[in-house]
């Protein structure tokens, strides 16, 4: 427990496990706050907290999640991610080895993404008062464009692009947590999304809105955007990619993959005449190589998300009111 009290132990923790991965000019200052150079243009600032059980899952771990989650939040306003802070809440008894692995992974994720971890904090809570490790990150990014990327810019006719298959993160975590085995690999999609977003903007695509799909999955994200924009979205079920292992796992647990969490997928709303170009750009980035156009924004002002299946039946997507309880009578 002594590790959080600010004494010698705490110093050791920082020195041995944390600083090595915060390898840059600012952390070397070892002050309470980081002093950053002036950032040109508009600045974007966001924060997010990460709790996940288990800490390590197929395709990622909580450290990567904490970096990519905040990077993705910055990316969704079209910002180039620059700096991150990192706050750790450790539960007493967390193996140092685990902490080291998470921090190493955070360091690599930051380096790969080109963001710098510039400030941080560590607290330790008593055993039983935390779930091993919680991480909070905050992020700063800069806007290098003049667009406003927001739900109210969604226009009738806009093409809705989805950056890849869905449902992998939620199912990978769930399967690992519960010890369930499914046919085929079930890897989290956990990944940074700034690269395809910046590529769209650099190519001059008039991006109307972006949203990363996290908890609640594709359906919840689109329902929120439909409500936020007072627009109706029409989706084609056939164009929404879901891998066999995800489908199999969802069928086993009785879950709808449209509502399962993702950590490396986003939707983009772009004008119809730029849809093909935008799609080609997205498909060039590895993280969004499987991008597809999945639907369009209709002229109707009903805030609805309509999913059309292969035989033409239409389903209205709603928020989930809680757990998925059977309604069949």
Nearer to Mg ion, 26 or 259 (CB): 259
Q: Which stretch binds Fe ion (CB under 5 A): 207-215, 263-271, 279-287, 321-329?
A: 321-329
At its nearest, how many Å lie between Mg ion and the CB of residue 66?
10
Q: Which stretch binds another protein (CB under 8 A): 16-24, 132-140, 158-166, 318-326?
A: 318-326
# binding residues, Mg ion (CB under 5 A): 3
At its nearest, how many Å lie between another protein and the CB of residue 155?
22
Q: What share of the chain is helix, strand, coil (3-state, %, to 5)?
A: 35, 25, 40
Nearer to Mg ion, 195 or 263 (CB): 263
Q: Is the link from the previous residue into 54 a cis peptide, with omega within 30 of 0?
A: yes
Answer for the pair 63, 117: CB distance below 8 angstroms, yes or no. Answer: no
| CA-to-CA separations, 180 to 172, 173, 184, 186, 310, in angstroms, rounded | 10, 10, 12, 11, 31
Whole-number Å distance between alpha carbons of 251 and 9:
48
Whole-number Å distance between alpha carbons of 148 and 141:
15
Nearer to another protein, 29 or 324 (CB): 324
Which partner, Fe ion, another protein, Mg ion, none, binds residue 306 by CB below 5 to 8 Å per kind? Answer: another protein
Instruction: List the one residue from 23, 152, 239, 318 that touches another protein (CB under 8 A).
Output: 318
Instruction: List the one residue from 146, 299, 313, 329 that touches Fe ion (CB under 5 A).
Output: 329
Cβ neighbour number for residue 267 with a 10 Å cutoff: 22
* Residue 194 CB partners (closer than 8 Å, separation 6+): 71, 72, 74, 75, 79, 80, 81, 113
Q: Number of C-alpha atoms within 13 angstroms, CB side, residue 204?
A: 1
Instruction: List the one residue from 48, 92, 121, 144 that touches Mg ion (CB under 5 A).
Output: 48
Whole-number Å distance between alpha carbons of 213 and 189:
11
Q: Which stretch binds another protein (CB under 8 A): 4-12, 89-97, 270-278, 311-319?
A: 311-319
Does 299 interact with another protein (rule: CB under 8 A)?
A: no
Nearer to Mg ion, 64 or 73 (CB): 73
Does 313 interact with Fe ion (rule: CB under 5 A)?
A: no
Whole-number Å distance between alpha carbons of 198 and 194:
6
Q: Which stretch binds another protein (CB under 8 A): 17-25, 26-34, 141-149, 180-188?
A: 180-188
Q: Which stretch binds another protein (CB under 8 A): 4-12, 113-121, 289-297, 304-312?
A: 304-312
Whole-number Å distance between alpha carbons of 99 and 279:
39
Q: Which residue stretches of the chain are H helix?
A: 8-13, 62-75, 96-113, 168-178, 194-202, 217-229, 244-253, 275-284
Instruction: List the one residue from 16, 152, 251, 301 that touches another protein (CB under 8 A).
Output: 251
At its nearest, how many Å lie between Fe ion and the CB of residue 324?
19
| Centroid of chain to Cα 110 | 14
Whole-number Å distance between alpha carbons of 20 and 31:
16
Whole-number Å distance between alpha carbons of 269 and 160:
5
Instruction: List the one residue from 50, 67, 73, 167 that touches Mg ion (CB under 5 A).
Output: 73
Nearer to another protein, 109 or 317 (CB): 317
Tell me which residues touch another protein (CB under 8 A): 178-183, 251-255, 304, 306, 311-316, 318, 320-329
Tell me which residues touch Mg ion (CB under 5 A): 48, 69, 73
Tell me which residues touch Fe ion (CB under 5 A): 329
């Amino acid at each position: 427990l002594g590790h959080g009290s600010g004494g010698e132990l705490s110093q050791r923790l920082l020195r041995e496990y944390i600083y090595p991965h915060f390898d840059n000019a600012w952390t070397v200052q070892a002050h309470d706050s980081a002093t950053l150079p002036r950032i040109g243009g508009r600045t974007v600032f966001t924060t997010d907290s990460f709790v996940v059980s288990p800490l390590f899952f197929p395709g990622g771990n909580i450290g990567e999640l904490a970096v990519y989650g905040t990077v993705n939040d910055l990316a969704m306003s079209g910002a180039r991610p620059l700096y991150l802070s990192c706050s750790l809440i450790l539960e007493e008894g967390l193996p140092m080895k685990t902490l080291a692995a998470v921090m190493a992974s955070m360091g690599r994720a930051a380096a790969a993404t080109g963001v710098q971890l510039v400030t941080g904090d560590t607290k330790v809570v008593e055993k039983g008062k935390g779930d091993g490790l919680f991480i909070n990150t905050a992020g700063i990014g800069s806007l290098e464009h003049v667009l406003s990327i927001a739900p109210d810019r969604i226009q009738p006719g806009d093409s809705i692009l989805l950056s890849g298959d869905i449902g992998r993160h939620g199912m990978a975590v769930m399967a690992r947590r519960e010890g369930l085995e499914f046919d085929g690999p079930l890897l989290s999609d956990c990944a940074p999304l700034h690269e395809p977003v910046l590529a769209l903007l650099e190519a001059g695509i008039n991006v109307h809105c972006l949203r990363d799909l996290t908890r609640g999955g594709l359906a919840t994200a689109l329902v929120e955007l439909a409500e936020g924009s007072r627009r109706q979205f029409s989706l084609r079920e056939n164009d929404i990619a879901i891998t066999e292992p995800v489908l199999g796992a969802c069928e086993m647990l009785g879950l709808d993959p449209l509502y399962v969490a993702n950590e490396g997928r986003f939707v983009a709303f772009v004008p119809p005449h730029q849809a093909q170009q935008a799609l080609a750009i997205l498909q060039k980035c590895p993280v969004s190589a499987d991008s597809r156009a999945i639907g369009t924004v209709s002229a109707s002002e009903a805030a609805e998300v309509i999913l059309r299946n292969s035989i033409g039946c239409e389903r209205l997507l709603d928020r989930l009111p809680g757990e998925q309880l059977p309604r069949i009578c």
